Amino acid sequence: MTARIGLKASFVVGFDGHQHVLWRHGEVVFEDGKILFVGRGFPGEVSQWIDYGHALIGPGFIDLDALGDLDSTVLTLDNGAEWKMGRTWSADYLRAGPQECYSAEEELFKYRYAFTQLIRNGITTAMPITSMYYRRWAEHYDEFAGVAALSGELGLRTYLGPCYMSGMTYAREDGSPTQHWDEAAGLAGLDAAVRFFADFDGAHGGLVRGALLPDRIETCTPALLERSAAMQRELNAPLRLHCCQSHYEVDLVQRLYGLSSLQWLDRLGLLNPRSVLPHGIHTNGEDDLQRLRDGGASLVHCPVVFARDGDALDSFGSHRARGINIAMGTDTFPADMLDQLRQGLNIARVKEGSAERTRILDLYNAATLGGAQALGRDDLGRLAAGARADITVFRLGAFHQGPFFDPLKNLVTAGRGDDCIASYIDGRCVMQGGQVLGVDYAALQRQADALFEKQMWHHSDRAFGNPPWRTLFHSAIPFADAYSAEAPLQDARAPTSH
């Protein structure tokens, strides 16, 4: 048994059984990982009251495409075509034989760094995503045993499983994309994922849950997806599959199977309420959206990473109006859900040509209630008696937030992830005063910087002709002096003396 804890703040986001509601000068009381009371004037005994003052206490964010990586997508910013700068595998690299970028210890570190970032930004439930471009071939059972232990150590609620795939997109000499297939490797990866599910679903007091996480629709053969669908039904497991995210994917699926991506998933039995589908950008009109709604699968919306490349869901409001459940994902750095909500709101309104169809609350609901629905969890994404005590506290009144007028509107229009000052997951305090407990931020950052540079080196191996890695990346502002090819990037931050 744990102590009964009460939290107070100027505002609390409660849940009345149908929707989020706002309590002024509210209270939240929890015990043994479960919420007992939300409102004002709790009548019982409390071991400890914590008053956060001018702040918003709310449910933790649910991130169903949560970066578990040192983000490689940021390396594509203004660096030219992905195949030229070595993010995508070249035919030469494939012939030579792919290699792991990181050691096993370094792979686990990147999760430690990413999970800390998630907690720091008010995310309490995460379904991680990492890039397979830097792997020999997908992920492994043993490494995810370590990831599960890390989740338990940090206290992050996670849905885990090793990513598996039966194909990889690579570039021909002219830069055109094509596929390499290894179906046996994909089926072996699924077997490892099922083994992980059996061993770890419910581990660490229920904080870790299993999930089936095939890589993306264009890197999975029909046999792998058919087997995945069968195991999803057998295990009653959530299954996440990236789809409808590029013209190449849509064209490839059409060419191979004569169907749109969502038609193919429907035929395979993967448009169901246990399916979680990032990103839904490129669909085949009304017929596809009707299939998505009727099947009950959830769309995971990650607006920032697509906006960087000039692409966007068209649109959040129209999908929501059709009755499609929408959850949220960060998918890139920073792991700032407030930024996703802000940019998602603005992008939706530009796409819709109106400020009427998509509201701030719609995006907030997607990051809380929508994520809970996608996971089949009516005990997450809300603060109500009986729900799990996944609680965040966001400060209000910070100078950068501007004059105060409404807690959620202030946060979404001008707040940022590090306005989260405290986080409780399953009733355990995992962050207080903006500090994730037991984590040395400076040491974590130093190691992340060193490993990110190693990731950049690896681009040279994957690019045609193996050019020096520094030539593959371009500073936003050109350097005025000759920059040493051997000097670590961190040296650019160090002051010089004369």
- Per-residue pLDDT of 81-140, as tens digits, reads 999 999 999 999 999 999 999 999 999 999 999 999 999 999 999 999 999 999 999 999
Q: What is the pLDDT of residue 483?
A: 59
Average pLDDT of the residues in 341-350: 98
Asked if the model's pLDDT at residue 493 lies above 60, the reply is no
Quick one: pLDDT at residue 312? 97
Report the sign of the C-alpha dihedral through residues 409, 413, 414, 417, in that order: positive
Q: Which single residue is written with the structure tokens 């999803």?
A: 232
Query: Is the confidence at residue 313, as pLDDT, over 50?
Result: yes
DSSP string, 391-403: EEEEE---GGG-S
Q: Residue 85 contacts by C-beta under 8 Å, 6 or more apart in sequence?
A: 75, 76, 79, 459, 463, 472, 473
pLDDT at residue 494 is higher than 50: no
Which one-letter DSSP state was computed for residue 132? G
Given this model, what pLDDT does residue 285 score?
A: 85
Between residues 495 and 250, the one the model is more confident about: 250
Neighbour tally for 240: CB within 10 Å: 27
- For residue 39, the cross-strand partners are 27
Average pLDDT of the chain, as a whole number: 95
State the angle between helix axes of 183-200 and 141-154 in degrees (0 to 180), rounded to the nearest 10.
40
Q: What is the pairing mode between strands 157-160 and 208-210?
A: parallel
pLDDT grade for 495, boundaries at 50, 70 and 90: very low
User: What are the tens digits of pLDDT across the range 374-401?
Assistant: 999 999 999 999 999 999 999 999 999 9
Cα(first)–Cα(last) distance of the chain, in Å? 62
Q: What is the mean pLDDT of residues 417-432?
A: 98
Residue of 425, 419, 418, 363 lying closest to 391 (CA atoms): 425
Question: Closest by alpha carbon to 261, among 230, 322, 227, 219?
Answer: 219
Q: pLDDT digit string (tens) for 64-82?
A: 999 999 999 999 999 999 9
22-36, 170-184, 477-491: least confidently modelled range: 477-491
* Contact indicator for 473, 75 with CB cutoff of 8 Å: yes
Do the beta carbons of residue 338 and residue 367 sit within 8 Å? no
* pLDDT exceeds cutoff 50 at 316: yes
pLDDT digits (tens, 9 = 90+) for 206-221: 999 999 999 999 999 9
Domain annotation for the chain: domains and CATH numbers? 1-60+381-436 (2.30.40.10), 61-379 (3.20.20.140)
User: Structure tokens of 394?
Assistant: 């966001």
Instruction: Give the separation between CA 115 and CA 119, rounded to whole angstroms.
Output: 6
Per-residue confidence band for 496, with pLDDT thresholds at 50, 70 and 90:
very low
What pLDDT was estimated at residue 485?
53
- Give the confidence band of 416 by pLDDT, cuts at 50, 70, 90: very high
Query: Rounded to whole angstroms, how far apart are CA atoms 368 and 58?
Result: 10
pLDDT for 482 equals 66
Give the pLDDT band of residue 2 (cuts 50, 70, 90). confident
Q: What are the φ/ψ torsions at residue 314 (nearest 5 degrees)?
A: -125, 90
**Residue 58 neighbours by CB under 8 Å, 6+ apart:** 12, 13, 368, 383, 391, 392, 394
Tally of CA atoms within 13 A in the half-sphere of 310 that contains its CB: 3
| DSSP designation for 60 | P
In the chain, % of residues over pLDDT 70: 96
Average pLDDT estimate for 241-262: 96
**361-372: per-residue pLDDT in tens?**
999 999 999 999
pLDDT at 487: 59
From residue 256, alpha-carbon distances to 99, 253, 260 in Å are: 29, 5, 10
Q: Write the pLDDT tens digit of every residue in 442-470.
A: 999 999 999 999 999 999 999 999 999 99
> Distances from the Cα of 290 to the Cαs of 141, 235, 303, in angstroms?
37, 27, 22
Q: What percent of the chain has pLDDT above 90?
A: 94
467 or 498, greater pLDDT: 467
Asked whether residue 498 carries a pLDDT value surpassing 50, the answer given is: no
Q: Does the pLDDT of residue 12 top 90, yes or no? A: yes
User: What's the token pair of residue 213?
Assistant: 């996480």
Predicted confidence (pLDDT) at residue 497 exceeds the cutoff of 70: no
Q: Crossing angle of helices 104-120/441-462, nearest 10°?
A: 130
Taking residue 88's Cβ as centre, other Cβ atoms within 10 Å add up to 21
Calculate mean pLDDT across residues 150-176. Answer: 97
